[in-house]
Amino acid sequence: MSVYLVLMSLLLFGPQSDKKADLERQNTVEVTCGKLIQVEPVLFNGVPVGNQFERTPIKRAKLRLYYRDKRTHWCKKQSLAAEAVTGKDGSFDFESVAPGSYWLVGRRDGAHYSLAINYDPNVGSGDKCSEISYELRNGELALAKMRAYTFYENAKTN
């Protein structure tokens, strides 16, 4: 019986800490800026078209950055660290923010959306504002990092 309880607790609680650690790493950014984007499926006659999505910048959205205690969920009682408003292209920049753990919180159509992020300017990821988007998709806010690639073509001479 005790072996069963140990196995069950490992199955229920063991992988979660690994998932949380992975999420913490994934949501670590080197800059406190980016673009806020609404992501919706492309529809044809009301039916989603394959795996195609329309990405629309969210203009004039008020974003807030709250200090985050890693043991708690976002709530209005946490201290405000910074505010920003998105531009026409959805871009924003939180200025003068200290490294640490934060909640990025936005409001759209009466609903609040939040995402736990870690700001570490020394992480060495090479993040640039133009390559980071915070995507609102299916009612969830998620971090997406885009990397620009340069393609080189071998020139042949005759």
* Contact criterion met (CB below 8 Å) for 94 and 33: yes
Rounded Cα gap, residues 158 and 143, in angstroms: 48
pLDDT at 119: 94
pTM of the model: 0.74
Structure tokens of 57? Answer: 């910048």
Ranking 4-13, 26-35, 101-110, 120-129 by mean pLDDT, the lowest is 4-13
Is there a domain that residue 104 lies in? yes
Number of domains the chain contains: 1
Is there a domain that residue 156 lies in? no
Mean of all residue pLDDT scores within the chain: 79
Its domain, for residue 85, covers 2-145
Domain holding 119: CATH number?
2.60.40.10
- Confidence band of 112 (pLDDT split at 50, 70, 90): confident
Is there a domain that residue 92 lies in? yes
pLDDT at 153: 55
Is there a domain that residue 150 lies in? no
Rounded Cα gap, residues 52 and 55, in angstroms: 10
Rounded Cα gap, residues 138 and 136, in angstroms: 7
pLDDT at 5: 34
At CA 75, angle to CA 73 and CA 76, rounded to 5? 165
Q: Of all residues in the chain, what percent carry a pLDDT higher than 70?
A: 72
Is there a domain that residue 152 lies in? no
Give the residue from 144, 120, 126 showing the smallest Cα distance to 36: 144
Is there a domain that residue 154 lies in? no
pLDDT at 13: 44
* Contact criterion met (CB below 8 Å) for 58 and 111: no
Is there a domain that residue 47 lies in? yes
* Contact criterion met (CB below 8 Å) for 26 and 143: yes
Rounded Cα gap, residues 89 and 20, in angstroms: 32
Q: Of all residues in the chain, what percent carry a pLDDT higher than 90?
A: 46
pLDDT at 84: 96
92-102: average pLDDT: 94
Q: Cβ neighbours of residue 109 under 8 Å, at least 6 residues apart?
A: none
